[in-house]
Amino acid sequence: MSTTEIIITRPDDWHLHLRDGSMLKAVAPSSSADFGRAIIMPNLVPPITTPEQAVLYRQRIMDAIPENHDFEPLMTLYLTESTNPDDVSRGASSGLIKAVKLYPAGATTNSDSGVRNMDVVMPVLEKMAKIGLPLLVHGEVTDEDVDIFDREAVFIDTVLEPLRSHLPELRIVMEHVTTVTGVEYVMASDNNLAATITTHHLIINRNTILAGGIKPHYYCLPVAKREKHRLALRTAATSGNSRFFLGTDSAPHCDGTKLSTCGCAGIFTSPNTLGCLTTVFEQENALGNLEAFVSLNGPEFYRFPPNSSKIRLFKTKVPVLFPDKINTQEGPVTVFDPMFPIHWQVTPHTED
């Protein structure tokens, strides 16, 4: 008999872009409906670089969450070459700041204020290592002469490995890992390194973006790689290995900015992420490991308790319908199309 119902600890999203203003109001409920907590990316314009900015942004997020949703935004700071180590430790010791995000300058959407020279930020990283605050890395180099499909592997060799040898106590999450190289690197390392995996990288490969016509809604950074990498990500995510957990990297952009001669990177997956993932785990005969990936491994790495509430996923005869787009004051935002029907419905679960 195939499984038709699963009850699991309420999941968390360890990498989420909620944006600001009217976009925030439009997209936040899609995450807070299904997730208990999310690590909030700080790449606003201008970025969130101080605890003072983070506390205000946190309030704007709380204001955008429907009253009947129980959701906690976990705030991060954007690392720049002028980040003050004391700001970081102050933010962390107040309980507000849960991690710091490293974007190599120019790596992705809104990363111009990112880091060019790692030596300059070393005092901040040393402080973080001392207080146990995780560093979240966008693991791609930005050198123009490095092929976009090789940028993760080159980042590991030229930035991550030297950093980890210099500061082995620093706790690091390789965000949105996309390659066999990345997966193997995490597996071979010690417990101070973990990785998030997105929903979409388990489903699409580079053919999805480029074969049979260019499909801007599947373009994100790091860009999806060839099929063998997608298969390695699926194996890692569905294995139950505690060093891999969900970070959706749901990154909404209006259609107008995606469907352009220089389209933005980012895929909006929040509305159907759990349905997509449950389908992936079902396809891999690994439904028993879904809870580890979406609800348990992340809190374990961040040293938080898992959520106390539960959700129920049940199988439906007819596919669950999700909107193709959600409307925002800035224009429509297209929802990720996994190219397969989703037969899993999510509801809160209360013990009776």
List the x/- string, 24-63, binding to ligand NCD by CB under 6 A. -------------------x--------------------
Residue 300 three-state SS: helix
Residue with tokens 């999806």: 224
DSSP label of 13: E
Residue with tokens 């990936």: 293
Asked whether position 13 contacts Zn ion by CB under 5 A, the answer is no
Q: Name which of ligand NCD, Zn ion, none residue 31 binds, using a CB cut-off of 5 to 8 Å depending on partner kind.
A: none
Return the residues of window 196-235 that contact ligand NCD according to CB under 6 A: 220-221
Instruction: Using the minimum distance from each CB to Zn ion, give the nearer residue, 97 or 286.
Output: 97
Q: Name which of Zn ion, ligand NCD, none residue 137 binds, using a CB cut-off of 5 to 8 Å depending on partner kind.
A: none
Asked whether position 152 contacts Zn ion by CB under 5 A, the answer is no
- Which run of H or of E encompasses 327? strand 325-328
DSSP letters, 129-195, are HHHTPPEEEE-----TTS-GGGHHHHHIIIIIHHHHHH-TT--EEEET--SHHHHHHHHHS-TTEEE
70 catalytic residue (yes or no): no
Instruction: Using the minimum distance from each CB to Zn ion, give the nearer residue, 41 or 129.
Output: 41
Counting runs of H as helices and runs of E as strands, what totals does the chain give? 13, 13
Selected catalytic residue, list 20, 119, 249, 255: 249
Query: Segment near ligand NCD (CB under 6 A), from 105-113, 177-185, 200-208, 299-307?
Result: 105-113
Asked whether position 249 contacts Zn ion by CB under 5 A, the answer is yes
**What is the Cα–Cα distance from 186 to 180, expressed in whole angstroms?**
10
Q: Which residues bind ligand NCD (CB under 6 A)?
A: 17, 43, 108-110, 138, 220-221, 249, 251, 265-266
